[in-house]
Structure 1
Amino acid sequence: MISLQSRMHLDGVTARQITDFLLNPRDDTYRAWWPGTHLQFHVTRPAPGDDHVGDLVWMDELVGSRRVSMAAEVVEAVPGARVVWRLRRWGVRLPIRVIVRLEADEAGVTLCHTIAAGWPGPGRILDPLWRHYFSASFADAMDEHARTEFRLLCDLLRADHVEQSARPPSAAERLTGTAPTKVPGRGTCGPADRAHSGV
């Protein structure tokens, strides 16, 4: 099993904000998240339920000097806790998962971003094949990419929250009492840690 993992603390955002954003991808908001690096992220086929499990998505971005384009399926979605995508190629599930786990605290969220690749059981004998793709240089680029992109998402979500809080409530919000309440930001996104195994 090959695992590329980055951990970081994000201040002033909630875990639910992050999972809601990731489970409702649109190209325009994805590009606004990191202009010039994030290219496409959208649902290609929604699942029949409303929990997003089974949604098929397309992701296209630059990781360092490499362009990474991939189809994936949402295989786990727990609002405010984790999202797991499994990569697909030609309609076949690959033994590669992208996992975002979140733990809330008083200051914000600790986020762990993991790419896990490898077959279970006897298939592990083929794991060295993945090292040609998930090389040490790609691991370094992916770590830097993850730390940068989630700090940028932190800024985007805080800015969006402030913008929504500043707007006057609609008539419906006034009637139902659901007008947004402004929550002061808690500072900047915090430090990140990194762990690689199998590379």
Structure 2
Amino acid sequence: MPPTWTSTSAHYVTPRTGQRDAWTEDTAQRGHAGTNRLLEVAETTPPTGVADALQVPAGEPVVVRRRLVELDGRPIELADSYYPVSIARGTGLAEHRKIRGGAPTLLAELGHAPHQVEEEVTARPSTGQERELLDLEDGEPVLVLERLVRDADGQPVEVSVMTMAAEGRRLRYELSA
């Protein structure tokens, strides 16, 4: 059973120039080892919901970065992040390598600093592939967090779909009005 993990979103969308990515740093501060294993970086036709959120015309490709997130060597989350090719093509977002400081840092360097974030969380039964990759039992549910990030001009710059083992997970939100 994974340790109970409380996750807040704000520092995961904040640029971190010259630092490690937020997940690695967050887990280290709590006495754990966290990493992202990059599974795929490619141009692809996005799912309809992602294309709509990014305001990408039907059939137009986007860049996807698929990662397996691990905590203390145990897989706990599948994270797929999508970017418009007009922003990502020819940059580190489209390369099969980790990005120092994470994608928010690179987006900021490219002139698209995260400004507005929308998140939606749902729960559902896990699929066969998710059970295999996340080492879940039949019938175990997953939480799916979908995040849309816009820059200061309101342009959608990233959509992330994070599918996580529900057991031991707590999501915490802090808002300023």
Q: TM-score, normalised by structure 2?
A: 0.29
Larger relative helix fraction: 1
Tell which has more relative contact order, 1 or 2 (C-alpha 8 A, sep 6+). 1
* TM, length-normalised to structure 1: 0.27
- Structure with the greater alpha carbon radius of gyration: 1
